[in-house]
Amino acid sequence: MGLVRHVVCAMSGGVDSSVAALLLKRRGYSVTGVFMKNWDSLDESGVCSAEKDCEDAYRVCQSLDIPFHQVSYVKEYWHEVFSNLLKEYEKGRTPNPDILCNKHIKFNHFQKYAINTLGADAMATGHYARTSQEDEEVFQQPHSAPPPTLFRDRFEIRNPVRLYKGADLLKDQTFFLSQISQDALRQTMFPLAGLTKEFVKKIAAEAGFDHVLKKKESMGICFIGERNFENFILEYLEPKPGNFVCIEDGTVLGTHKGWFTLTLGQRARIGGQKKAMFVVDKDVVTGDVFVAPTTNHPSLFRDTVRTDRFHWLTVDPPPELVRTQMMECHFHFIHQMPLIPCTVTLNMDGTVWISLSQPVRALTPGQVIVSVHSRVMEHSEYSVVVSPGA
Residue 301 to residue 279: CA distance in whole angstroms: 12
Higher pLDDT, 79 or 384: 79
- Number of H helices and number of E strands within the chain? 12, 19
Q: Percent of the chain, pLDDT > 90?
A: 57
Instruction: Over range 134-152, report the average pLDDT.
Output: 63
Residue 56 to residue 63: CA distance in whole angstroms: 11
Evaluate the CA torsion angle 167, 171, 176, 178 in order and state its sign.
Answer: positive
* Residue 222 confidence (pLDDT): 60
Residue 363 to residue 347: CA distance in whole angstroms: 21
Q: Indicate the SS3 state at residue 70.
A: strand
Out of 32-46, 276-290, 348-362, which region has the weakest mean confidence (pLDDT)? 32-46
Instruction: Over range 98-102, report the average pLDDT.
Output: 92
If pLDDT is split at 50, 70 and 90, which confidence band does 94 have? confident
If pLDDT is split at 50, 70 and 90, which confidence band does 45 have? low
pTM to 2 decimal places: 0.87
- The region that residue 355 occupies, defined by phi over 0 for left and psi between -120 and 50 for alpha, beta otherwise, is beta
Is pLDDT above 60 for 376?
Answer: no
* Residue 41 confidence (pLDDT): 66
Evaluate the CA torsion angle 89, 91, 92, 96 in order and state its sign.
Answer: negative
Residues belonging to the active site: 101, 222
* Residue 221 confidence (pLDDT): 65
Are the C-beta atoms of 168 and 196 separated by less than 8 Å?
yes
Out of 61-70, 90-99, 144-153, 171-180, which region has the weakest mean confidence (pLDDT)? 144-153
**At what angle are helices 15-26 and 49-64 packed, to 10 degrees?**
20
Evaluate the CA torsion angle 105, 109, 115, 119 in order and state its sign.
Answer: negative
Residue 3 to residue 164: CA distance in whole angstroms: 29
* Residue 314 confidence (pLDDT): 80
Query: How many beta carbons lie within 10 A of that of residue 345, not counting itself?
Result: 16
Q: Which pairs count as long-range contacts for 256-259, CB under 8 Å and 24+ apart, including other chains?
A: 256/289, 257/230, 258/233, 258/234, 258/287, 259/92, 259/283, 259/284, 259/287, 259/289
Domains of the chain with CATH codes: 6-214 (3.40.50.620), 238-295 (2.30.30.280), 300-386 (2.40.30.10)
Higher pLDDT, 171 or 367: 171
Amino acid at 242: G
Q: Indicate the SS3 state at residue 204.
A: helix
Are the C-beta atoms of 183 and 146 separated by less than 8 Å?
yes
Residue 54 to residue 75: CA distance in whole angstroms: 18
Residue 290's contacts (CB-CB under 8 Å, 6 or more residues apart) are 245, 246, 247, 279, 280, 281, 282, 283, 299
Summarize pLDDT for 347-372 with one digit per residue, the tens. Answer: 887 788 899 999 999 988 877 777 67
> Phi, psi (5° rounding) for residue 356?
-95, 150
Residue 122's contacts (CB-CB under 8 Å, 6 or more residues apart) are 5, 7, 8, 115, 138, 139, 187, 188, 189
